[in-house]
Chain A
Amino acid sequence: MYSEKVLDHFQNPRNMGEIENYNGMGMVGNAKCGDIMQMFIRVNDDGIIEDVGFKTFGCGAAVATSSMATEMIKGKSIDEALKLSNSAVVEALEGLPPVKIHCSVLAEEAVKAAVDDYYKRKAEKKD
């Protein structure tokens, strides 16, 4: 049911775990539905995502989409990261079963939530 790529990311998740000195953190989903994704980012002064990490409670697709999303935004600017779409994640994973598409949506939302948090923290600092 899963592509080789999904299984690879599930077995060898990239950027797994909390990162040091993160300045943005987003958590989306809920335990009721069985998926929770937490995304950590460290953005440098140039607005580039230097480092990223994730933690996921969920099925194989939830783990693989979070892992893939971190790979796709690492080293990118926050503007580029905000453009990450769920379909791009699905494509990069060489497809997902139809019932698992919502996992990729969650991955996109997790990235956006982390960036939102980064902006919020930055604004608070200025105040």
Chain B
Amino acid sequence: MKRVYLDNAATTRLVPEVLEAMMPYMTEIYGNPSSPHYFGQQAGMAVDKARAQVAKAINAESGEIIFTSGGSEADNTAIRGIAERYKNRGRHIITTAVEHHAVLHTCQLLEKQGYEVTYLPVDEYGMVTAEQVKNAIRPDTVLVTIMFANNEVGTVMPIAEIGKLCREKGVFFHTDAVQAVGHLPIDVKEMNIDLLSMSAHKFHGPKGIGCLYVRKGIIIPALIAGGAQEKNRRAGTENVPGIVGMGKAIELACTDLEQKAEKIRTLRDKLIREIPKLIPEVKLNGHPTIRLPNNVNFSIKYIEGESILLMLDLNGIAASSGSACTSGSLDPSHVLLAMGLTHEVAHGSLRMTLSDETTEEDIDYVLEVLPKVAERLRKMSPLYHE
């Protein structure tokens, strides 16, 4: 059976060049980077190189990169770290209603510890404005944390504007850029970003490795206590193969980034243009143009997301949904609900996320299969009347 992978926002394929770069660090170069001997120093040099590769990709300095176990740890380190270290400046945090759970649940945890959190509402496209942030900033606001691009609907937030505003107001600005790194050009200096989270497996790197960028001069306490690794900001022996793989992956992702994004965007737009022609009563979720180059998200009315996924999977197509059945709770995606979708329409959402490995043939196959799946499920649905 033909298999088409359109769940690249969940994770991506580790590319062979990355694996090749990692292999020696799982076999012959096994030293601990903290050790002063030859074995350790070989590994240490590889970590330094990867740190420089990651820093360069976002126009940061090597010393500003803290390697973590992934995006969630980076988000936790940033938010809890700033809240704790700078609490004398205030205990108010601003975020949005559509953040990833790694940010939302961390904010909720801080609320229990006496912090106050403002969850900015979003418009119908899942967008917040710099104006909203401006109006929410108070004298006791210590941190603004807003995602670079939404993982479900792909809407890209006005990060540079928000960054500029926060810098002017003297408020720390963190962005969860897990979905954006390797897909959109990012310049932490130009965009006035103080802290930024990323995860390697979202751009063809290995799982279990990510990093937090922390602007020079900002002190971040360690979330994981222990040894002096990462300049006392993250204890634990470095995941050397993971770090090397992340360095290689980000370098590859940022090479010809614009050209690759353009190619993916063309395929994305083909899906966005053709699906409403082939299936009546669908709704595009997320902003029509200010969205990640690889994200397509539709609600197919009258049918439910998990059964769409299941039937697509039986036809070889892997995608994702914001339905309750796939979120592990009774409620559908908090992102879609925050955008004002009804429960019923939110349950019928289908997310397809492309990569630079997606072909036009893959897209045509989806356009052939999806209308049949929708028709079949609609025939079964008590909500649908022809």
Contacts and interface: CB of A to CB of B under 8 A. Distances in A.
Secondary structure of the A contact surface, majority rule: mixed
A32 interface: yes
B382 A34 contact: no
B307 A31 contact: no
Contact of B383 (A10, A17, A31, A59): A31
A7 B334 CA distance: 29
B323 A57 contact: no
B325 A27 contact: no
A41 to B, nearest CB: 15
A13 interface: yes
A32 B380 contact: no
A13 B311 CA distance: 13
B310 A10 contact: yes
Contacts of B332: 34
B310 A33 contact: no
B307 A58 contact: yes
B304 A34 contact: yes
A43 interface: no
Interface in A1-49: 2, 7, 10-11, 13, 16-17, 27, 31-38
Secondary structure of the B contact surface, majority rule: helix
A100 B324 CA distance: 11
B381 A57 contact: yes
Interface size class of A (residues with CB under 8 A): 20 to 34
A50 B307 CA distance: 29
Nearest to B321: A59
Nearest to B342: A31
B325 A56 contact: no
A37 B382 CA distance: 7
A38 B381 CA distance: 9
Contacts of A11: 311, 314
A36 B380 contact: no
A19 to B, nearest CB: 14
Nearest to A38: B382
Contacts of A38: 382
Given A34-B304, A57-B303, A59-B304, A27 B314 contact: no
B117 to A, nearest CB: 26
B194 interface: no
Interface in A80-114: 99-100
A63 interface: yes
Interface in B219-270: none
B306 interface: yes
Contact of A31 (B305, B310, B343): B343
Contact of B302 (A17, A33, A57): A57
A60 B383 contact: no
A3 B9 CA distance: 27
B382 A10 contact: no
B76 to A, nearest CB: 26
B92 interface: no
Nearest to B326: A59
A31 B347 contact: yes
A55 interface: yes
B1 interface: no
Contacts of B167: none
B328 interface: yes
A58 B314 contact: no
Contacts of A32: 343-344
B380 A59 contact: no
Contact of A27 (B303, B310, B382): B382
B304 A13 contact: no
A55 B307 contact: no
Interface in B287-339: 302-307, 310-311, 314, 323-325, 328, 330, 332
Nearest to A39: B382
B169 interface: no
B89 interface: no
Nearest to A27: B382
B380 A16 contact: yes
A90 to B, nearest CB: 17
Interface of B: 302-307, 310-311, 314, 323-325, 328, 330, 332, 342-344, 347, 379-383
22 contacts: A7-B310, A7-B314, A10-B307, A11-B314, A13-B380, A16-B380, A32-B344, A34-B304, A34-B324, A34-B347, A56-B381, A57-B302, A57-B303, A57-B381, A57-B383, A58-B325, A60-B306, A60-B307, A61-B325, A99-B325, A99-B328, A100-B325
Interface of A: 2, 7, 10-11, 13, 16-17, 27, 31-38, 55-63, 99-100
Nearest 3 A-B pairs (CB), nearest first?
A: A31-B344, A59-B306, A38-B382
